[in-house]
């Protein structure tokens, strides 16, 4: 962490008492700022509040008092998930007070090598693949952080100029950045997500593109080349563009050709040997190969990681097998495209468990994947009815509605046969029933263990 006077004696409001808020507040105090923290909720766990108060930080909980607008703050650092039309946040923006996220704070003081990974889907898996490759090449000084669950504002406090951070960056985090400049930026794909937050797809795409906004010709943009729009977006960067393509649309970076994965003509491995299933994970592997090669990682290490890495928890995670039935946990599939890609990864019949927060869209796009891969659906949450409509269109005969993903497990087990896949891939956010997708996935795994009498592998 480099020494910085950017925040010295600045009065800063941190909105949100989550992990990112607590850690960025501690970091800002260390950098000499005068910090106040505000959270709308009264936290059940008082320990973070006590820790902040011991550092001299004033903590206000239970509401977002608009009186804070009159306190002459120099800067606001907000939790990425808080909407910009929140009255307190909107009030600061109207008063021309800069509103950023903790990623921006971390970027201004990190003097090592930053690799940023964004995209609608595949961020966590790609981030993890890259981190494992770099760690096995260098052994030390490589950290993953960001949206993957470890606040980057926490990690930068223990880093030096010799270290590398591989940061998973969501659109929520990126929209609150101003000077972020990864040496290598990765865009896995861009679909239409989080429009309740960004309001328009243009805003969403622009948020994603902030990962490359400050890159120069000495930096790299690794980008999926299998879509014309993504190719066009690559023209908006000053960085060196490194494409990856599962469909063989470019051989200038990482690509698949005739079932083999290559890096600029060098054969790396067979696509079938990538341990995590699905075409989307081949794309993630290609993105990771590109970054690893740009960073000088040996081919043997790349192959070792891709043939042994079994996936990230809640992202197409193999849970266990029982009586010939394979259970997968893809709770991270919070949008239609993620579930579509998950289904395409299986040749076996799938019993799909899906449903969740209703964001206003319907599910006709899933009909082709339903027709090809799904033998039965068990649906729950606010979108159960809409998903049932799509399943009906696909001609699926077995459609059941239930309370939640836990009760769906026993129904799926009873409806299944040896050789079937039972897949939790909700196609929706979890917030109608669970605080986050991690808890939803954990509850699913608990139910699988209870029904089968086996433990997660």
6 is in an annotated binding site: no
123 is in an annotated binding site: yes
Edge to edge, what strands does the sheet with 75-78 contain? 58-61, 34-39, 11-15, 75-78, 99-100
Give the per-residue pLDDT at 198.
87
Distance (Å, rounded) from C-alpha 99 to C-alpha 157? 22
Domains of the chain by range and CATH?
Answer: 11-100 (3.40.50.720), 106-308 (3.40.1190.10), 317-452 (3.90.190.20)
Give the per-residue pLDDT at 1.
65
Q: Which two tokens stand for residue 431?
A: 């917030």
Low-confidence ranges of the chain (pLDDT < 50): none
Closest CA to 353 of 344, 361, 342: 342
Taking 3-state DSSP, the helix, strand and coil percentages for the chain, each rounded to the nearest 5, stand at 40, 20, 40
170 is in an annotated binding site: no
Distance (Å, rounded) from C-alpha 444 to C-alpha 404? 9
Give the per-residue pLDDT at 108.
94
188 is in an annotated binding site: no
116 is in an annotated binding site: no
CB-side neighbour CA atoms (13 Å) of 14: 28
Give the per-residue pLDDT at 316.
86
Q: pTM above 0.85?
A: no
Distance (Å, rounded) from C-alpha 112 to C-alpha 15? 27
Give the per-residue pLDDT at 189.
95
Give the per-residue pLDDT at 405.
97
441 is in an annotated binding site: no
Strands 240-245 and 254-257: parallel
Q: What angle do CA 224, 227, 231 make, to 5 degrees?
A: 65
Distance (Å, rounded) from C-alpha 445 to C-alpha 167? 27
122 is in an annotated binding site: yes
Edge to edge, what strands does the sheet with 266-270 contain? 142-146, 164-168, 113-118, 184-187, 220-224, 240-245, 254-257, 260-263, 266-270
3-class secondary-structure state, position 360: coil
* Neighbouring-strand partners of residue 421: 326, 350
Give the per-residue pLDDT at 192.
77
């Amino acid at each position: 962490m480099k020494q910085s006077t950017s925040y010295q004696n600045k009065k800063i409001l941190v909105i949100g008492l989550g992990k990112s808020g607590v850690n960025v507040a501690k970091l800002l105090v260390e950098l000499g700022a005068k910090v106040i923290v505000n959270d709308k909720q009264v936290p059940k766990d008082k320990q973070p509040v006590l820790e902040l108060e011991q550092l001299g930080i004033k903590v206000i909980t239970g509401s977002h008092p608009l009186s804070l607008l009159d306190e002459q703050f120099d800067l606001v650092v907000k939790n990425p998930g808080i909407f910009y039309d929140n009255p307190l946040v909107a009030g600061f923006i109207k008063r021309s007070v800069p509103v950023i996220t903790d990623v921006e704070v971390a970027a201004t003081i990190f003097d090592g090598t930053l690799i940023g990974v964004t995209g609608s889907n595949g961020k966590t898996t790609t981030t993890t693949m890259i981190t494992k490759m770099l760690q096995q090449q260098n052994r030390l000084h490589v950290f993953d952080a960001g949206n993957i669950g470890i606040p980057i504002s926490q990690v930068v406090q223990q880093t030096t100029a010799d270290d590398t951070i591989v940061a998973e960056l969501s659109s929520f985090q990126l929209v609150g950045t101003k000077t972020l400049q990864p040496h290598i930026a990765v865009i896995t794909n861009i679909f239409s997500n989080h429009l309740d937050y960004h309001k328009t797809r243009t805003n969403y795409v622009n948020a994603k593109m902030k990962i490359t906004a400050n890159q120069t010709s000495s930096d790299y943009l690794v980008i999926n080349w299998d879509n014309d729009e993504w190719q066009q977006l690559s023209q908006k960067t000053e960085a060196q563009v490194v494409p990856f393509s599962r469909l063989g649309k470019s051989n200038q970076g990482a690509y698949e050709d005739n079932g083999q994965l290559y890096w600029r003509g060098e054969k790396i491995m067979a696509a079938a040997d990538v341990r995590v299933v699905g075409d989307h994970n081949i794309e993630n592997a290609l993105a990771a190969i590109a970054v690893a090669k740009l960073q000088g990682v040996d081919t043997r290490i790349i192959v070792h990681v891709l043939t042994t890495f079994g996936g990230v928890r809640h992202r197409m995670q193999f849970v266990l097998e029982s009586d010939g039935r394979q259970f997968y946990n893809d709770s991270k599939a919070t949008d239609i495209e993620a579930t579509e890609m998950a289904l395409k990864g299986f040749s076996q019949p799938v019993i799909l468990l899906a449903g969740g927060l209703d964001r206003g869209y319907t599910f006709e796009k899933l009909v082709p994947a339903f027709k090809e891969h799904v033998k039965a659906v068990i649906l729950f949450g606010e979108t159960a009815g809409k998903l049932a409509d799509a399943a009906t269109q696909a001609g699926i005969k077995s459609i059941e509605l239930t309370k939640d993903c836990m009760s769906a497990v026993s129904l799926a087990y009873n409806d299944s046969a040896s050789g079937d896949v039972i897949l939790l891939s909700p196609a929706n956010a979890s917030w109608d029933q669970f605080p986050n997708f991690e808890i939803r996935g954990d509850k699913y795994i608990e139910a699988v263990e209870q029904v089968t009498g086996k433990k997660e592998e």
